């Protein structure tokens, strides 16, 4: 999916987790948002990858797009790393990454941004390169932009409004 959709889905997770972590609302929500786009550090074309392009090029050369950063191992490793500093913030980062993996598992695309044709993420990498998921939504397609994105924004906005 596109970065904006990933961020909107991360915001849904972020506002719900922020509500469950009084006093840590802001860092928890921020971690969920970061987690929602962190796996795409594996492509210099993504929101995060454009800003950190020396790093994203290195990750792209090493793993390819939708490679190791789109796996359960990456989710657990990144979340655990942050959980050492703050368990709720680490969990929020993991939840954000989980929204990313789930969204990519059901979306597919073509072109230079994709090193493989079709949907899915290598959930069990490095044990298996096999992609988990199915072709449901085209990346940047009508369903993503007219259904998933507005729905996630409304959900996050409504849940966030209750926090204020």
Q: Closest distance between Zn ion and the C-beta of residue 16, in Å? A: 21
Is the Cβ of residue 15 or residue 119 nearer to Zn ion in the bound state? Answer: 119
Please give the Cα distance from 93 to 133 (Å, whole number): 22
Q: Closest distance between Zn ion and the C-beta of residue 46, in Å? A: 7
Q: Closest distance between Zn ion and the C-beta of residue 40, in Å? A: 4
Is the Cβ of residue 3 or residue 87 nearer to Zn ion in the bound state? Answer: 3
- DSSP E strands in 63-149: the ranges are 107-108, 137-138
139: left (phi over 0), alpha (psi -120 to 50) or beta: beta
Q: What 3-state class would DSSP assign to 131?
A: coil
Residues 100 and 6 sit within 8 Å (Cβ to Cβ): yes
Residues 24-53 that bind Zn ion (CB under 5 A): 39-40
> Dihedral (C-alpha) 78, 80, 9, 106: value to the nearest 10 degrees?
70
Does 144 contact Zn ion by CB under 5 A? no
Q: Closest distance between Zn ion and the C-beta of residue 85, in Å? A: 25
Please give the Cα distance from 35 to 110 (Å, whole number): 24
**Which range in 20-28, 78-86, 99-107, 110-118 contacts Zn ion by CB under 5 A?**
99-107
Count the site residues for Zn ion by CB under 5 A: 3
- Which of 14, 38, 104, 131 forms a contact with Zn ion (CB under 5 A)? 104
What is the contact surface with Zn ion in residues (CB under 5 A)?
39-40, 104
């Amino acid at each position: 999916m596109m970065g904006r959709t990933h961020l909107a889905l991360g915001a849904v997770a972020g506002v719900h987790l922020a509500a469950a972590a009084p006093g840590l609302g802001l860092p928890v929500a921020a971690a969920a948002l970061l987690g929602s786009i962190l796996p795409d550090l594996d492509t210099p074309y993504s929101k995060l990858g454009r800003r950190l392009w020396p790093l994203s090029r290195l990750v792209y050369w090493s793993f390819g797009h939708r490679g190791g950063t789109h796996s359960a191992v990456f989710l657990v490793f990144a979340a655990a790393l942050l959980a050492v500093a703050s368990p709720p913030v680490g969990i929020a980062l993991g939840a954000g990454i989980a929204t990313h993996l789930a969204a990519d598992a059901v979306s597919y695309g073509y072109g230079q941004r994709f090193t493989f044709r079709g949907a899915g993420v290598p959930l069990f990498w490095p044990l298996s390169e096999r992609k988990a998921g199915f072709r449901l939504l085209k990346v940047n397609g009508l369903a993503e932009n007219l259904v998933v994105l507005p729905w996630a924004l409304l959900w996050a906005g409504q849940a966030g409004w209750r926090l204020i």
